[in-house]
Homo-oligomer: A and B are copies of this chain.
Amino acid sequence: MTGREIRMLCRSGTLTKPTPGLSPGFVQSNLVCVPRDLAFDFLLFCRRNSRPCPLLDVTDPGDPVPRIAAADGDVRTDCPRYRVYRYGELIDEPTDLLNWWRDDMVAFLLGCSFTFERALLDAGLPVRHVEEGRNVPMYRTSVPCASAGLFRGPLVVSMRPMTPDQAVQANRICKGFPLAHGAPIHSGDPSALGIADLSRPDFGEAVTIRSGEIPVFWACGVTPQAVAMNARPPILLTHAPGHMLLTDLRDADMRG
């Protein structure tokens, strides 16, 4: 199925499940919606932190159509499930945003790790959490993002274990996808990022690190969501974890 077909299944209420593995080759995106009076700061935050926040599309205030990423899409209905935060507190997990959307809402679509994971798998490299049927392990680091207005906080990274040789290959492959977080930001020493214990991720689930493997860390799309929640805006709308917005963009478009 195409990205558009998945969107239509979400819009009709038929699909309410997570999207990993759906529509291979079509880009899945993170969604963050904030009111217009916070949109400049959030856009500036994304610009200043393009590794965790690779922007695919930004809508006009009040316009639910992501005209670059999905010309007939609607950010209010086309994810399988959403989250609604009021002053940083989760208050609803609806299957559409029709009751929450406002005339001053701006939607930000951000690139997602699924794009480069597919490229890693195609190259025969391991993606351990996929092998083990888990959610990717994610960690808050001691590395601060460049702040913008209310939006400030630490970089969040995802981790995939590999041999050092595989890490070199992964670096070469992923740096070709600047709109999907790009190359890993660090390989080898978790303490260099202020991570104390790999077996206790801050988000997602721990995975097995085999003998001879090192942890490889990528800037993670959870960063902008965590930062946006920390800013405790009056209203914040996002996709539910793993319930991404399918676009018409192709993985190859993420080469930047």
> What residues of chain A have their CB less than 8 Å away from a CB belonging to chain B?
36, 39-40, 43-44, 47, 55, 58, 60-61, 106, 148-149
Contacts and interface: CB of A to CB of B under 8 A. Distances in A.
14 contacts: A36-B40, A40-B40, A40-B43, A40-B61, A40-B106, A43-B43, A43-B47, A44-B60, A47-B47, A47-B55, A47-B58, A60-B148, A60-B149, A61-B149
Contacts of A40: 36, 39-40, 43, 61, 106
Given A60-B149, A149-B60, A44 B43 contact: yes
A43 B44 CA distance: 8
A47 B47 CA distance: 10
Given A36-B40, A40-B40, A40-B61, 10 more contacts: A39-B40, A40-B43, A43-B43, A43-B44, A44-B60, A47-B47, A47-B55, A47-B58, A60-B148, A61-B149
Contacts of A106: 40
A106 B106 CA distance: 20
Interface centre among A40, A60, A148 (most CB of B within 10 A): A40
Contacts of A44: 43, 58, 60
A47 B109 CA distance: 14
Nearest to A39: B40
A70 to B, nearest CB: 16
Contacts of A148: 60
Contacts of A39: 40
A207 to B, nearest CB: 35
Contacts of A43: 40, 43-44, 47
Nearest to A47: B58
Contacts of A61: 40, 149
A49 to B, nearest CB: 13
Contacts of A36: 40
A43 B60 CA distance: 12
A39 B36 CA distance: 11
A62 to B, nearest CB: 11
A233 to B, nearest CB: 14
Nearest to A67: B146
Contacts of A47: 43, 47, 55, 58
Contacts of A149: 60-61
A151 to B, nearest CB: 11
